[in-house]
Amino acid sequence: MAHSPRPSAAGGRARRESPMYSTHYEVEGPADGLPMLMLHGFGCELGLMRGCMEPPIAEAGKADALLRVYVDLPGHGRSNGAPLSLASSDAMLTECLRILDDVAPGKKFAVVGQSYGGYLALGMMASVPERLAGAALICPLAVDDLAQRRVEEGRLLSADEKFLATLTEAERKSFLQNAVRADGKTWQRFRDEEAPGFASANPEFLDAVDEHFSLTRGARSLTDGLDFCEPCAIVCGRQDSMVGFRDQALLLPKLPRATFAVLDVAGHNLQFEQPALFNAIIVDWLERLEY
């Protein structure tokens, strides 16, 4: 296995290379900082995580203390040429851990996961808890069987109709699919941070992942097997029609140092529908990390 050079302390872009494929990731922060692995949701790309995490990291004054590793998961973003051999949650998890070994071999790290990325983070919390310094789960997928998820009815609670009238029909349809708060500010972040992933993801690869979606242990057994005592934050949207918030509450008995928040007027895009509350929760989590 051939690897690309480890990024410098100032950060930059890199790829994990093999004879068959490459996985794109970008780093920010000092090489001697606490590694923090950032995992986006299904069909998105690393810009989603950069957009939601860099503001609270700056607010907490932690930019010079954390080595942030933003990954385009295989089949997504600049990693959309990945082979179908990586089209499973088990392979995704393994690939992300290998990237950490490339960037910061032997070091403990924190993980932040949004939606599907939160599911992968749960897999790490269950399988390699000794390697983790903490975890933040943003609208995490906690039940991998779609029929078993307890989700909320999608509701648009706050809308700027005058602004929405300026969008094309296609833009409006895409934006409002999961929106709870729809205005100029939430549109800008949706357009800049979330929508690019839709265009760059490899649909054949995503379909193949759907066929091998469950981690080997499955989400239910992940919950049963958790014994994770490091600082955690779980943030859910009260109106999240994709993953809900009720299943995530079942994680709490296994996470004695978890903050659990359910935000009103927020759905699966809570990080930009309730940015002040989201940032405050993440800042608190960053300050609780021990490293």
How far apart are the C-alpha atoms of 228 and 124, rounded to whole Å?
10
pTM for the whole structure? 0.92
Calculate mean pLDDT across residues 176-187: 98
The gap between the terminal CA atoms of the chain, to the nearest Å, is 31
Per-residue model confidence (pLDDT) at position 219: 54
Domain boundaries, the chain: 11-152+202-288
Per-residue model confidence (pLDDT) at position 216: 86
pLDDT tier for residue 61 given thresholds of 50, 70 and 90:
very high
Superfamily of 11-152+202-288 according to CATH: Alpha/Beta hydrolase fold, catalytic domain (3.40.50.1820)
Query: Tokens representing 1?
Result: 């296995």
pLDDT tier for residue 7 given thresholds of 50, 70 and 90:
very low
Q: Are 251 and 141 in contact (CB under 8 A)?
A: no
Query: Tokens representing 179?
Result: 């929106």
Flag whether pLDDT at 8 surpasses 50. no
